[in-house]
Amino acid sequence: MTRNEQLKQPLTGIIPPMVTPLLEDMRLDLEGLTKLVEHLIAGGVSGLFILGSSGESTSLSYAIRHQLIKETCRRVAGRLPVLVGITDTALAESLSLAETAQASGASAVVAAPPYYFNLNQKELFNYYEKLAGSLTLPLFLYNMPGLCKVHIEVSTAIRLSEHPNIIGLKDSSANSVYFQSLYQSLRGKPDFTLLVGPEEAMAESVLMGGHGGVSGGANMFPKLFVKLYEAAAQKDFATVADLQAIVMQISNSLYGVGMYSSSYLKSIKAALSLMNICQSHMAPPLAAFDAAETKHVTPIIEQFKLTLEKRGLL
Amino acid sequence: MTRNEQLKQPLTGIIPPMVTPLLEDMRLDLEGLTKLVEHLIAGGVSGLFILGSSGESTSLSYAIRHQLIKETCRRVAGRLPVLVGITDTALAESLSLAETAQASGASAVVAAPPYYFNLNQKELFNYYEKLAGSLTLPLFLYNMPGLCKVHIEVSTAIRLSEHPNIIGLKDSSANSVYFQSLYQSLRGKPDFTLLVGPEEAMAESVLMGGHGGVSGGANMFPKLFVKLYEAAAQKDFATVADLQAIVMQISNSLYGVGMYSSSYLKSIKAALSLMNICQSHMAPPLAAFDAAETKHVTPIIEQFKLTLEKRGLL
Amino acid sequence: MTRNEQLKQPLTGIIPPMVTPLLEDMRLDLEGLTKLVEHLIAGGVSGLFILGSSGESTSLSYAIRHQLIKETCRRVAGRLPVLVGITDTALAESLSLAETAQASGASAVVAAPPYYFNLNQKELFNYYEKLAGSLTLPLFLYNMPGLCKVHIEVSTAIRLSEHPNIIGLKDSSANSVYFQSLYQSLRGKPDFTLLVGPEEAMAESVLMGGHGGVSGGANMFPKLFVKLYEAAAQKDFATVADLQAIVMQISNSLYGVGMYSSSYLKSIKAALSLMNICQSHMAPPLAAFDAAETKHVTPIIEQFKLTLEKRGLL
Amino acid sequence: MTRNEQLKQPLTGIIPPMVTPLLEDMRLDLEGLTKLVEHLIAGGVSGLFILGSSGESTSLSYAIRHQLIKETCRRVAGRLPVLVGITDTALAESLSLAETAQASGASAVVAAPPYYFNLNQKELFNYYEKLAGSLTLPLFLYNMPGLCKVHIEVSTAIRLSEHPNIIGLKDSSANSVYFQSLYQSLRGKPDFTLLVGPEEAMAESVLMGGHGGVSGGANMFPKLFVKLYEAAAQKDFATVADLQAIVMQISNSLYGVGMYSSSYLKSIKAALSLMNICQSHMAPPLAAFDAAETKHVTPIIEQFKLTLEKRGLL
């Protein structure tokens, strides 16, 4: 058993939402997985979050989801906490993924709201209470209104934070008022972890009291985000300004290419392919950039690699 | 092999989106399933659609979804076409459900768009083309923007209707302009089936050229909807007006109880329980009406049973 | 005083949402107004609705709105009821428009919800009660959720229908379930007028009990819509099918040109210009089709004119 | 002529979106206006923004809007820049308000997108270009997607920032990714002012490079927000944390009372009434808190007054 029995609370720093390396035939790319895990650990991240949106969790067969949990935990081997996404529309499948996570030595699980039926806050609360009560691993809530259609409202999150098995929340709403409301309402619970999803908002949320970021771009450039996190945590404002500018240049130049909602993810996989870490394949209904799009992003990615290399951040 | 080798095209009439009878421990209620299938066939429906939204498909474990396909097809035994919902976020799981459907003797499969990532129309087209190309059973498109976040736009549906394996579309948008645009654009394909989801809109869509309805209320009262369909198909306006009034009274008095998005489904399961067909349990994240809500709906349901009995429609 | 003191209730038939003829410098095109009013009356419409969305009401200065009321009523001279849109975000301006309408001999006013602040149903109810209580002319509610952000929910509409000064509702939601709920709930009030906005849904709503349509396309081709309305009202299904096909061809071929939300309105003004009735200018923030778009729609419009001419519907 | 001919650029600090003091009969409360203007100037604000959403602009008759511009500018008498909201659905009315602003000595005008028709980015760009080209006063863009339905996308804002007459943007989206994208894209234009709307996000946006806040709560407690702004501008994190906690307590305890979208505004007017600055009346379709709601918020407001008094921030 290699789990971190004592998951540090609150969990701080950068916990990348790890992309899932796939072969062209949609099997797991096990070699890519090894390289990606080592790339991230070498980059100084505080943990790994697998099977989130960036991990294309909902596009993967269950067999592959279970395999990914085992293979990732085996590779990490207790060096870092592994957080496992168990978001699903079927409670039974979420619990099954959580069992595999537990058996594999993961530290916690993460669940966004069930994303098919439209739920009100009472239904959402009841769902999370039932889920948390059935788990042995601790649970992070995951607010993702853009994909799940429902907001975990502040009052619902506060009530759920009373549950002994719910230890944190990841917010991907990009709404700074929501995050501040949550943060101020939870000041009496300093161990409750508050992480922010969009990498563009990570630095400012940490400046304002957040514990860290689940920053997708950290798949490509973990050192950039780790350094930016540290600067924000230490209130080193000059470094924050400097690195935030790079983070935003990445966002502005890459994440809108092709005008897909998932351009962000396509760009990250394209970059990992250029860096020989894993291939760029994506599971349907998403797809990797086509040839023209890849040609467009390649020099941009190369330029960022140079920029970061010069600063010792690659 | 008991499949209807020649699925009548276009498929007309009432094809209820069958609810999934569940025991309290969330196993399939096999006895309830037998009774429900016989209730529907005796009610004169033209086919059964299982594993749709009303079937709580996305809330069921995969084991149960596969079991339901087999058990339903075995009970139907070729007496009617069975349409199987394979809607999923993971293509691999959709194909696996389709295989079970094919092996069990189902007549066709039905797929709404993958409902997690936000897709544009190009991605949606590519997804359906890939899906249709991988299936042996014919495919119905299922437009469900309220739950899947994306509309299968008219132009996308028209292009997809060219695929030899795509034979129809079920529209649950409740948008009459959309349905009319589709209907008029597809007049050159008289075999392409157009079904409407919301039971409140079934009669009018049939009057205007639609082929039938996937009417949830037909789980309770199949004869009412079959009779209403027939009246609409025969342009018997007096009967349409008479029965449509009952359909709307059911909708207005039952489907908003408790103010859940799923009140409709809770009401249907409550009625089936009162009628001793199956129990009212629902899979998380949904839940059956609580005691107070059940007490509220019981006399309303009893009244509708009386009303329909008097007309020979129970 | 030329008002129809006795506005027929319910109001039935086609009541076009009259476009506002404008000169290039954004003054009223008074000559165009004369021709348009005569074109519509000659087309057999049952009334005129001015200052609705199709009338670009919210884009016009108040001076022009008041002028349009006076000039239209003067031209109509009691031959038909004139309904005047008084939708506004400021109650004071709505009341001022209503005063001009009253003084000019209009028969009723029409108001969609105030469209800036997000209102709940209680606020909406209070607003309408205050408005209706301050008016001397009778009031039609106008449900336009796509532009006003809020639905006049069925229960709110039912409560408002009790007000002695509220005599009807125009629904532009295109949602057939909503319209049917309203219709069935209001069966006890046969004088309460229910009109439908989208012209594509007019025939079916009349078949199902609606009183008529506020059909934008009737600006161009009033006889087509009047004939279609009459066929639907008389349950002449062959004629309905025949004319509905033309209505949908117009919608499918013209109303999406250029991919603007307002393509529908641009097309109607382009057609009126081709027919020498009025010019195609539109008030900012909208704009008429540019040269390329106009070139594209011109032969399509000419073809429809030919088609309708052959049937005596031009 | 008392205008600040040289409006400082970028404009920094707190520019409250001034509420509009109203009498019960909806006339302007001129005495309240005097007191409110003096309260704000004494509180150290950098400018006044009148006729924004918090000023209930769209609910006021035009006569009152013009009167408010004149009366406010006369009272300010050049002591501060006055920014005048000219947001409207009719360009002609926006220009008329701008003329009054110019004649009264205001420093700039502010315009959100026209909020009735659904506009695409091309239409939005053309609209703003036409507006800016017709003004003599400089223009601030105002991004308010929650009320106007459309986002001024980053690429559109960047293109508009090239216009010599467009000097800044106020963002009320609460989306931190949007604000950061804008900020980083506009780094080459250090004089272009970027202000943030939601007061809960003001401190963090200033820490990350924003120029100040249009903070509604500053109507009640200008010194609190001015001090918080200054702390953020000076990177005095201890003070930021201390005062931000108060700002969030105000937001969490007051701005959700009664569950209206406008609870925020009702609370501010209730507080100003308690502080004897002006009455709490609001223009339809909004309404002041009722007696029960007022009773609920009164002790909360009194407590905040005590808290701020102790710190010399009242």
CB contact under 8 A, D117 and C286: yes
* Contact list, A60 vs chain B (CB under 8 Å): 90, 92
Helix ranges restricted to H, chain D: 30-42, 62-76, 91-104, 121-134, 145-148, 154-161, 176-185, 202-207, 222-233, 237-254, 263-274, 291-310
Q: What is the DSSP string of chain A?
A: ----SS--SS--EE--B----B-TTSSB-HHHHHHHHHHHHHTT-S-EEESSTTTTGGGS-HHHHHHHHHHHHHHHTTSS-EEEE---SSHHHHHHHHHHHHHHT--EEEEPPPSSS---HHHHHHHHHHHHHH-SS-EEEEE-HHHHS----HHHHHHHTTSTTEEEEEE-S-BHHHHHHHHHHTTT-TTSEEEE--GGGHHHHHHTT--EE--GGGGT-HHHHHHHHHHHHTT-HHHHHHHHHHHHHHHHHHTTGGG-TTHHHHHHHHHHHHTTSS-----TT-----HHHHHHHHHHHHHHHHHHHHTT--
**The amino acid at A297:** V
The whole-number pLDDT of residue A187 equals: 92
Please provide the average confidence, as pLDDT, over all residues in chain C. Answer: 96
The whole-number pLDDT of residue B1 equals: 37
**The amino acid at C128:** Y
Q: Is pLDDT above 60 for D1? A: no
Sequence spans of domains, chain C: 3-221
ipTM: 0.96
d(CA C22, CA C18): 12
d(CA A70, CA D114): 54
Q: What is the DSSP string of B176-197?
A: HHHHHHHHHHTTT-TTSEEEE-
Query: If DSSP codes are grouped into helix, strand and coil, which group holds residue D47?
Result: coil
Cβ partners under 8 Å of residue D34, min gap 6: D75
CB contact under 8 A, B285 and A259: no
Return per-residue pLDDT of chain A as tens, 314 residues. Answer: 344 456 899 999 999 999 999 999 999 999 999 999 999 999 999 999 999 999 999 999 999 999 999 999 999 999 999 999 999 999 999 999 999 999 999 999 999 999 999 999 999 999 999 999 999 999 999 999 999 999 999 999 999 999 999 999 999 999 999 999 999 999 999 999 999 999 999 999 999 999 999 999 999 999 999 999 999 999 999 999 999 999 999 999 999 888 889 999 999 999 999 999 999 999 999 999 999 999 999 999 999 999 999 999 99
**The amino acid at A216:** G
The whole-number pLDDT of residue A6 equals: 65
In this complex, the chains that touch A, judged by 3 or more CB pairs closer than 8 A, are B, D
Q: Is pLDDT above 60 for C5? A: no
* Contact list, A185 vs chain D (CB under 8 Å): 248, 252
d(CA A179, CA A148): 18
> What mean pLDDT comes out for the span D309-314?
96
- Give yes or no for a contact between C28 and C22, defined as CB atoms under 8 angstroms apart: yes
Higher-confidence residue of C264 and A5: namely C264
Q: Is pLDDT above 70 for C111? A: yes
Mutation target among A116, A144, A289 for the B interface, most CBs of B within 10 A: A116
* Contact list, D262 vs chain C (CB under 8 Å): 117-118
The whole-number pLDDT of residue B6 equals: 65
How many CB atoms within 10 Å of residue D194? 23
User: Chain D residue with minimal CA distance to C55?
Assistant: D117
Please provide the average confidence, as pLDDT, over all residues in chain D. Answer: 96
* Contact list, D176 vs chain A (CB under 8 Å): 174-176, 198, 200-201, 204-205
Which amino acids of C are annotated catalytic? 142, 170
Which one, of C141, C145, C144, lies nearest residue C157 by Cα? C141
d(CA B265, CA B288): 9
d(CA C150, CA B260): 19
Cβ partners under 8 Å of residue B153, min gap 6: B121
Which one, of C207, C216, C201, lies nearest residue B184 by Cα? C201
> What mean pLDDT comes out for the span D223-236?
98
> What mean pLDDT comes out for the span C220-238?
98
> What mean pLDDT comes out for the span C233-254?
97
Q: Does domain B3-221 have CATH number 3.20.20.70?
A: yes
With tokens 């909360």, the residue in question is D300
The whole-number pLDDT of residue B2 equals: 43
CB contact under 8 A, B248 and C208: no
Phi-psi region for residue B89, left (φ > 0), alpha (ψ -120 to 50) or beta?
alpha
User: Chain C residue with minimal CA distance to D92?
Assistant: C61
**The amino acid at A208:** M
D73 Cα to chain C: minimum distance (Å): 23
How far apart are the two ends of chain A, measured CA to CA in Å?
A: 33
> Order of strands, edge to edge, in the sheet holding B108-111?
B13-14, B212-213, B193-196, B166-171, B139-143, B108-111, B82-85, B48-50
CB contact under 8 A, A91 and B286: no
The whole-number pLDDT of residue A1 equals: 37
Query: If DSSP codes are grouped into helix, strand and coil, which group holds residue C44?
Result: coil
Q: Please give the DSSP secondary-structure letter assigned to residue D130.
A: H
H helix and E strand count, chain D: 12, 8
E-strand stretches of C1-87: 13-14, 48-50, 82-85
pLDDT band at residue C314, thresholds of 50, 70 and 90? very high
CB contact under 8 A, A248 and D180: yes
H helix and E strand count, chain B: 12, 8
pLDDT band at residue C6, thresholds of 50, 70 and 90? low
**The amino acid at B240:** V
Quick: pLDDT tens for C58-109.
Answer: 999 999 999 999 999 999 999 999 999 999 999 999 999 999 999 999 999 9
CB contact under 8 A, D283 and C90: yes
* Contact list, D118 vs chain C (CB under 8 Å): 146-147, 261-262
> For residue D247, how many C-alpha atoms fall within 13 Å in the half-sphere facing its CB?
30
Q: What is the DSSP string of C221-246?
A: -HHHHHHHHHHHHTT-HHHHHHHHHH
Mutation target among C154, C171, C173, C177 for the B interface, most CBs of B within 10 A: C177
Which one, of B227, B220, B250, lies nearest residue B54 by Cα? B220
pTM across the whole model: 0.96
What's the token pair of residue C30? 């008074």
Interface of A with D (CB under 8 A): 154, 174-178, 180-181, 183-185, 187, 198, 200-201, 203-205, 207-209, 235, 237, 241, 244-245, 248-249, 251-252
Active site residue B130: no
d(CA C265, CA C173): 17
Chains A–B, number of C-beta pairs less than 8 Å apart: 119
D17: preceding bond cis by omega (within 30 degrees): no
Quick: pLDDT tens for D211-220.
Answer: 999 999 999 9
**The amino acid at B183:** Y
d(CA C134, CA C98): 10
The whole-number pLDDT of residue A2 equals: 43
CB contact under 8 A, A177 and D174: yes
Q: Please give the DSSP secondary-structure letter assigned to residue D22.
A: B
* Contact list, C154 vs chain B (CB under 8 Å): 252
**The amino acid at A38:** E
d(CA D278, CA D275): 8
Mutation target among D153, D178, D184 for the A interface, most CBs of A within 10 A: D184
Return per-residue pLDDT of chain B as tens, 314 residues. Answer: 344 456 899 999 999 999 999 999 999 999 999 999 999 999 999 999 999 999 999 999 999 999 999 999 999 999 999 999 999 999 999 999 999 999 999 999 999 999 999 999 999 999 999 999 999 999 999 999 999 999 999 999 999 999 999 999 999 999 999 999 999 999 999 999 999 999 999 999 999 999 999 999 999 999 999 999 999 999 999 999 999 999 999 999 999 888 889 999 999 999 999 999 999 999 999 999 999 999 999 999 999 999 999 999 99
Cβ partners under 8 Å of residue C189, min gap 6: C161
Query: Nearest by CB to B200, which of C180, C198, C252?
Result: C180
**The amino acid at C255:** Y
CB contact under 8 A, D123 and C92: no
Q: Is pLDDT above 90 for D2? A: no
C142 bridge partner residues: C170
In this complex, the chains that touch B, judged by 3 or more CB pairs closer than 8 A, are A, C
Cβ partners under 8 Å of residue D169, min gap 6: D140, D141, D142, D143, D152, D157, D161, D182, D192, D193, D194, D195
Query: Nearest by CB to C262, which of D61, D91, D117?
Result: D117
d(CA A87, CA B39): 36
Q: From the centroid of its chain, how far is CA D1?
A: 24
Burial of D219 from C-beta contacts in 10 A (0-12 / 13-18 / 19+): buried
Q: From the centroid of its chain, how far is CA D45?
A: 12
d(CA A48, CA D169): 38
Helix ranges restricted to H, C186-290: 202-207, 222-233, 237-254, 263-274
How many CB atoms within 10 Å of residue B10? 17
